[in-house]
């Protein structure tokens, strides 16, 4: 069989006449049983390089991919062409995943996509012992390198697997973004006879802009003024989940059809937003970088970042999702270069803090190791034993596994971490090396903001793509610089917006009559947090009146037509009447009687002492009582507190009042913290 | 040996219907050619080795399943199990010397592998041993621990369990030889977690990692217990069952086996074993002057061989369940 013969098959199966030369090179080598790393830009047609060979092999091709949306799209497209494909991921029900596995075992599937995290699933593991495997593909292979962006610990197991696969089994690793260093790391990790095919990375249909600003307000205003002037549908990437909400609400407030999306949303919501994006139902989706990787939408017309990504490689990857149809596409990056009191630029702070705080302190690692030396522990057990946050425990867990200090063992249905005999000491030097490397990458990203070179050239050079191309598609070459002016009109509009937008307190659960409530503000987003802190911890006296005014506004906006029988407030941990006094003023303002009969029956610690939800829950469990329980029956109750964090306290009181017959309990807080742990 | 060869080792180990002895011949064949077991499987014609028709098909089948074995090996390594092929320096030299061509192709272990290099003694006996036998077990385990010798036992009730607990009690080291696959021992791993991570216990299995406990595995395991030890102590034996079969087999192979001298009132087969050539020891495990005349009568020996045959010939069992 030669190229001509295979292209005849290509035509009949995929309806495509020819391979590009670079595609054919890869296909030929895969058919030959080789191992290949392919670095090609988005839109090159990497998928065909494994999908076609997969149709030629006798057995099944397994594709490990972190991109759930991509799986869905590709499986649909393949089945449409009569190529039997399935996927296994967290988005499907257990039954659906089981059915996909069974089909694969029965030889009914040519191509099977699977999320790397599924490698842990016992049903899948069982199936792998019997499946007729012909090829393994690692999609988004840069995620196997800690030097790459977006490193995923679950991929470690895939690498170990690939190393153990028989030498004659073809393996293809693909990525659109890899520096030489990441390339070498992947080559080293996969090892064996891996060879690399590297293509050109330039995207010449991009119009690249950087907008330097001096406040967050300027970003919001520019978007409100200009977004509808940009053609088509696109994405706005914000640095945090909270900001996806804030930006989307602000755009909607300005009559722009926006919606927010982040990893905190449930699968149905995410799918709905993804579908909406595909169908151009929105002008834009405001998202963390959880959205877009692998979305097979060729006509994303713009991508705007309100925060700098962690490195030029992140940036190239994230903007790479736009303009796959080759038509002109607008790419904008905001950068707030206002300096704080320490002379650090505002937009440098968040990503830097993120890098500096990526790893918990050594003491925390040692605490976890000590706990594991006593007994094998699951994630929850480890959180309880160490009083560490879930996010920290996950980082520690991944590092301990990486360093061989602990291993994750399946114990019946649960997974536990076991300390390993003869484990070496914790190596913190590697953490420090990584931190310094990441800071260097971040500085290179700021370099992109400030460069006078053609911007695409800057990105390609960072990615070690040294092809000589004429770059001329940015505000450093032929395009005008974009600027922003904030007038009084816009300042007022922003302040109106801020006083009309209130965070939801999400506490509803099946066995309780507590419903979702509202807070006057996010803790860190406005001056509310500072005011609370002064009163609580700096003897600043009662909460200032503007907090009452804002809380009332939040209440009226959300519950204007509802009627209530009582105002209750959360009794304090230590003596102090701040919340009591606040509740009294609140109650009198809305003309609802206040009751002082909600009390503590045992001493609790301040919730903020506890770093995770499990311990917070334990801390407040059965800690409250109502002095005249018979009065509670049928009551509609407002429950006030100053700061809402995990929600454990509100939920506990809600449960108590429910058992006493309360009809409904509505939580109201002055501020909601950001990033409360579970 | 490279870690990426483990897939091939595990595939060879669990190729059904080929005896361990034959598999070891394959390994020696590769070794003599200066080739690896990976080369053997990856070459077109198994490196030109002369294979019987059935063997060729079985090995070809194993070759087709290599990718499946890769998944299994990855899963085991990920969970902290060690896979030690017979050519590895970490493999027990005592086991290899004792079992020779019948030595298992790979050992699955968890814990301190170094224990495999230490001098070891096995303490064996009945599941429902009497108090004297248990006291004997404790005494011998204490002696072993004081002499820095490893105690090998089979994790059954009675003598096995006593041997393990006593060894640990006297701060000694121990090997648990499982009558099942290593991945099916979760409760034991949990119970001996601290001893495992502190390096005092090595858990070992030679069977398919996912095999549940089975009578034939329990029997086949006995030869591994005897093989890992350079000294064998028998606390109490009946005139049938695993201990009996194992001792008979050991005696037949000319190994020195120490059997506790029972009192006259005890109902056990210890005296018979002594009369067959085992060395009598007192309750402390010290060798006694032989009081019973050696009976090397031909008929008795053939009686022993006959009686032991169903279990006593581990080489008759393919260790690939």
Model confidence over A490-537: pLDDT tens digits?
999 988 887 778 888 988 888 899 999 999 988 766 678 778 888 888
CA dist B167 and B138 (Å) reads 8
A421 contact residues in B (CB cutoff 8 A): 111-112, 196-199
Give A130→chain B minimum CA distance, Å: 6
Phi, psi values for residue B190, rounded to 5°: -70, -45
Strand partners, B123: B233
Domain formed by A206-351+438-495, architecture: 3-Layer(aba) Sandwich (3.40)
- Render B256-269 in DSSP notation, one character per residue: -EEEE---TT--SS
- Among partner residues B3, B68, B199, which is closest to A422 by beta-carbon distance? B199
User: Hey, CA dihedral for A608, A611, A612, A615, is it positive or negative?
Assistant: negative
Rounded CA-CA distance A33/A12 in Å is 23
Determine the pLDDT at residue A525: 62
How is residue B285 annotated by DSSP?
A: S
Per-residue DSSP letter, B287? B
Give how far Cα A493 sits from Cα of A217, A236, A242, A500, Å. Answer: 11, 21, 20, 11
Bridge partners, B204 (sequence order): B109, B177
Q: What is the pTM of this model?
A: 0.80
Q: How far apart are the C-alpha atoms of A133 and A136, rounded to whole Å?
A: 8
| pLDDT score recorded for residue A496 | 84
Residue of B nearest to A192 (CA): B4
Question: Is A414 exposed, middle or buried, given 0-12, 13-18 or 19+ CB atoms closer than 10 A?
Answer: exposed
pLDDT of the residue at B298? 42
Residues B175, B149 contacting (CB under 8 angstroms): no
CATH superfamily of A3-198: P-loop containing nucleotide triphosphate hydrolases (3.40.50.300)
Q: Got the DSSP string for A422-435? A: TPPPP--HHHHHHH
Residue count of chain A, please give it: 678
Handedness of CA A119, A120, A121, A127 (dihedral sign): positive
Q: Are strands A664-672 and A636-644 parallel, antiparallel or unpaired?
A: parallel
B42 contacts A192? CB cut-off 8 A: no
Structure tokens that stand for B128 in this block: 């429902």
Six token digits for residue A193: 């006879």
How many Å apart are CA A127 and CA A60, to the nearest integer?
12
The top-level CATH class assigned to A502-672 is alpha beta
Q: How far is A443 from chain B (nearest CA, A)?
A: 37
CA distance B277 to A90: 64
Q: Does domain B113-313 have CATH number 3.40.50.450?
A: yes
The C-alpha of A431 sits at a distance from chain B's nearest C-alpha, in angstroms, of: 22
SS3 string of A446-511?
A: HHHHHCCCCHHHHHHHHCCCCCCCCCCCECCCCCCCCCCCCCHHHHHHHHHHHCCCCCEECCCCCC
pLDDT value at residue A147? 65
Region of A140 (left: φ > 0; alpha: ψ -120 to 50; beta: rest) is left
| Rounded distance between C-alpha atoms, residue A88 and residue A91, angstroms | 8
pLDDT number for residue A149: 58
Q: How far apart are CA B181 and CA B291, in angstroms?
A: 43
pLDDT of residue A148: 61
Q: How many CA atoms lie within 13 A of B190 on its CB side?
A: 13
Residue B121: partners with Cβ closer than 8 Å, 6 or more residues away: B140, B144, B149, B150, B151, B152, B229, B230, B231, B232, B233
**For A164, which of B74, B189, B190 is closest by C-beta distance?**
B74
**Residues of chain A contacting B, Cβ within 8 Å:** 125, 128-133, 157, 160-161, 163-169, 191-192, 373-376, 407-412, 418-422
Residue-wise pLDDT for B73-87, tens only, equals 999 999 999 999 999
Same fold yes or no, A3-198 and A206-351+438-495 = yes
Q: Using CA atoms, how far apart are residues A613 and A677, in angstroms rounded to an integer?
A: 6
Say if the Cβ atoms of B74 and A160 lie within 8 Å.
yes
Cα–Cα dist A90/A358, whole Å: 26
The reply to whether residue A421 touches residue B7, judged by beta carbons under 8 angstroms, is no
* CA-based nearest residue to A168, from B55, B43, B12, B35: B43
Name the stretches of chain B with pLDDT < 50. 292-321
A256's CB contacts (< 8 A; 6+ apart) are A223, A224, A227, A228, A283, A284
Judge whether A116 and A66 are in contact, CB under 8 Å: yes
Longest dimension (CA), chain A: 87
Q: What is each CA distance from A1 to A32, A346, A506, in whole angstroms? A: 12, 60, 62
Q: What is the pLDDT at residue B44? A: 87
Give the number of other CB atoms < 10 A from CB of residue B131.
7
Judged by CB atoms closer than 8 Å, whether chains meet at B193 and A375 is answered as: yes
Using alpha carbons only, give the angle A496, A498, A504 rounded to the nearest 5 degrees. 130
Distance CA B258, CA B23 (A): 32
What pLDDT, on a 0 to 100 scale, did the predictor assign at position A294?
60
According to CATH, the topology of domain A362-421 is: Arc Repressor Mutant, subunit A (1.10.10)
Q: Min CA distance, B71 vs chain A (Å)?
A: 6
Closest by CA to B283, choosing from B155, B164, B141, is B141
- Round to whole Å and give the CA distance between A26 and A15: 19
pLDDT, residue A221, reads 96
Contacts with B71 from chain A: Cβ below 8 Å: 125, 128-129, 161
Sequence ranges of the domains in chain A: 3-198, 206-351+438-495, 362-421, 502-672
Interface test with B, best of A407, A421, A422 (most B CBs within 10 A): A421
Residue ranges covered by each domain of chain B: 3-78, 113-313
Q: Which residues of chain A have pLDDT under 50?
A: 676-678
Predicted local distance difference test score (pLDDT) of residue A575: 60
DSSP letter string, A313-348? HHHHHHHTTS-TTSS-EEEEEEEE--B-TTS-BHHH
The chain B residues in contact with chain A (CB within 8 A) are 3-4, 6-8, 38, 41-42, 63-64, 66-68, 70-75, 77-80, 111-112, 186, 189-190, 193-194, 196-199
Contacting residues for B123 by C-beta, under 8 A, at least 6 apart: B137, B140, B141, B144, B151, B152, B153, B159, B160, B162, B163, B233, B235
Query: Which run of H or E residues covers position A353?
Result: helix A346-356
- The length of chain B in residues reads 321
Tokens of B68: 């499946």
Distances (CA, A) of A515 to A479, A557, A651: 52, 16, 10
Nearest to A164 among B6, B79, B196 (CB): B6
């Amino acid at each position: 069989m030669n190229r001509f013969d295979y292209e005849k098959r290509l035509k009949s199966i995929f309806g495509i006449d020819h391979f590009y030369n670079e595609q054919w090179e890869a296909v030929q080598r895969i058919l030959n049983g080789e191992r290949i790393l392919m670095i090609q830009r988005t839109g090159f047609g990497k998928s065909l390089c494994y999908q076609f060979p997969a149709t030629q092999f006798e057995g099944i091709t397994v594709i490990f991919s972190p991109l759930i949306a991509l799986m869905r799209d590709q499986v649909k497209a393949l089945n449409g062409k009569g190529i039997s494909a399935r996927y296994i991921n967290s988005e499907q029900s257990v039954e659906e995943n089981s059915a996909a596995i069974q089909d694969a075992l029965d030889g009914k599937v040519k191509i099977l996509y699977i999320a790397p995290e599924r490698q842990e699933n016992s049903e899948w593991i069982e199936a792998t012992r019997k499946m007729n495997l012909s090829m393994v593909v690692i999609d988004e292979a840069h995620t196997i390198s800690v030097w790459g962006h977006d490193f995923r610990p679950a991929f470690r197991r895939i690498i170990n697997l690939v190393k153990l696969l028989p030498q004659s089994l073809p393996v293809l690793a693909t990525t659109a973004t890899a520096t030489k260093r990441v390339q070498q790391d992947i080559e080293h990790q996969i090892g064996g006879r891996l060879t690399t095919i590297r293509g050109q990375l330039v995207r010449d249909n991009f119009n690249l802009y950087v907008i330097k600003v001096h406040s967050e307000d300027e970003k919001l205003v520019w978007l409100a003024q200009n977004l509808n002037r940009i053609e088509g549908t696109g994405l706005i990437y914000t640095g945090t989940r909270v900001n996806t909400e804030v930006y989307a609400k602000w755009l909607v407030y300005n009559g722009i059809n926006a919606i927010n999306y982040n990893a905190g949303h449930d699968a149905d919501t995410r799918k709905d937003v993804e579908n909406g994006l595909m169908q151009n139902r929105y002008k834009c989706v405001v998202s963390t970088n959880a959205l877009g990787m692998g979305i097979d939408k060729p006509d994303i017309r713009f991508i705007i970042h309100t925060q700098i990504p962690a490195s030029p490689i992140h940036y190239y990857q994230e903007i790479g999702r736009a303009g796959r149809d080759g038509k002109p596409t607008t790419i904008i990056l905001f950068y707030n270069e206002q300096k704080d009191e320490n002379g650090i630029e505002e937009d440098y702070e968040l990503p830097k803090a993120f890098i500096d705080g990526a790893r918990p302190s050594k003491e925390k690692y040692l605490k976890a190791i000590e706990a594991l030396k006593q007994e094998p522990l699951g994630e929850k057990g480890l959180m309880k034993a160490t009083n560490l946050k879930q996010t920290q425990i996950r980082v520690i867990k991944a590092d301990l596994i990486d360093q061989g200090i602990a291993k994750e063992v399946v114990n019946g249905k649960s997974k536990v971490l076991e300390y390993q005999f003869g484990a070496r000491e914790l190596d913190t030097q590697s953490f420090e090396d990584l931190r310094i490397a990441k800071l260097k990458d971040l500085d290179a990203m700021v370099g992109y903001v400030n460069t006078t070179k053609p911007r695409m050239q800057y990105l390609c050079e960072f990615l070690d793509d040294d092809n000589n191309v004429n770059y001329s598609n940015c505000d450093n070459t032929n395009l005008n610089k974009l600027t922003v002016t904030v007038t009084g009109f816009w300042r007022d509009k922003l302040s109106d917006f801020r006083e009309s937008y209130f965070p939801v307190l999400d506490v509803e659960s099946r066995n309780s009559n507590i419903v979702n409530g509202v807070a006057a503000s996010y803790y860190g987003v406005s001056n509310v947090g500072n005011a609370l802190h002064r009163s609580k911890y700096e003897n600043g006296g009662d909460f200032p009146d503007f907090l009452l005014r804002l809380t009332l506004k939040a209440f009226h906006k959300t519950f204007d037509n509802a009627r209530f029988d009582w105002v209750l407030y959360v009794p304090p941990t230590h003596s102090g009447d701040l919340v009591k006094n606040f509740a009294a003023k609140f109650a009198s303002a809305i003309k609802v009687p206040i009751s002082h009969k909600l009390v503590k029956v045992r001493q609790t610690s301040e919730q903020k002492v506890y770093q995770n939800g499990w311990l917070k829950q334990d801390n407040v469990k059965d800690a409250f009582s109502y002095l005249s329980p018979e009065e509670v029956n049928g009551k509609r109750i407002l429950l006030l507190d100053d700061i809402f964090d995990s929600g454990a306290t509100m939920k506990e009181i809600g449960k108590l009042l429910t058992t006493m017959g309360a009809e409904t309990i509505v939580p109201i807080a002055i501020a909601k913290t950001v990033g409360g742990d579970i | 040996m490279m870690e990426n060869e483990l897939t091939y080792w595990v595939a060879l180990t669990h190729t059904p219907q080929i005896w361990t002895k034959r598999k070891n011949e394959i390994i020696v064949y590769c070794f003599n050619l200066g080739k690896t077991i990976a080369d053997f499987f990856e070459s077109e014609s198994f490196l030109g080795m002369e294979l019987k028709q059935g063997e060729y098909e079985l090995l070809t089948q194993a070759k087709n399943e290599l990718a499946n074995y890769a998944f299994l090996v990855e899963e085991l390594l990920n969970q902290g199990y060690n896979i030690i092929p017979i050519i590895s320096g970490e493999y027990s030299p005592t086991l290899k010397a004792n079992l020779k061509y019948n030595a298992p192709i790979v050992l699955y272990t968890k814990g301190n592998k170094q224990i495999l290099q230490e001098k070891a003694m096995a303490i064996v006996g009945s599941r429902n041993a009497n108090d004297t036998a248990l006291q004997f077990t404790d005494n011998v385990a204490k002696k072993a621990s004081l002499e820095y010798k490893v105690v090998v036992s089979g994790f059954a009730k009675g003598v096995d369990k006593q041997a393990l607990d006593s060894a640990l009690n006297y701060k000694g080291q121990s090997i648990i030889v499982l009558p099942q696959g290593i991945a099916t021992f979760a409760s034991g791993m949990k119970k001996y977690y601290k001893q495992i991570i502190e390096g005092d216990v090595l858990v070992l299995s030679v069977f398919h990692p996912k095999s549940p406990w089975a009578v034939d595995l329990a029997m086949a395991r006995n030869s591994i217990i005897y093989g890992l030890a350079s000294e064998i102590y028998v606390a109490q034996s009946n005139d049938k069952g695993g201990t009996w079969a194992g001792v008979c087999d050991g005696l037949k192979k000319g190994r020195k086996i120490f059997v506790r001298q029972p009192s006259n009132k005890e109902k056990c087969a210890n005296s018979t074993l002594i009369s067959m050539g085992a060395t009598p020891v007192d309750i402390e495990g010290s060798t006694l002057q032989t009081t019973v005349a050696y009976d090397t009568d031909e008929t008795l020996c053939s009686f022993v061989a006959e009686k032991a045959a169903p279990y006593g010939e581990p080489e008759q069992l393919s260790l690939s369940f």
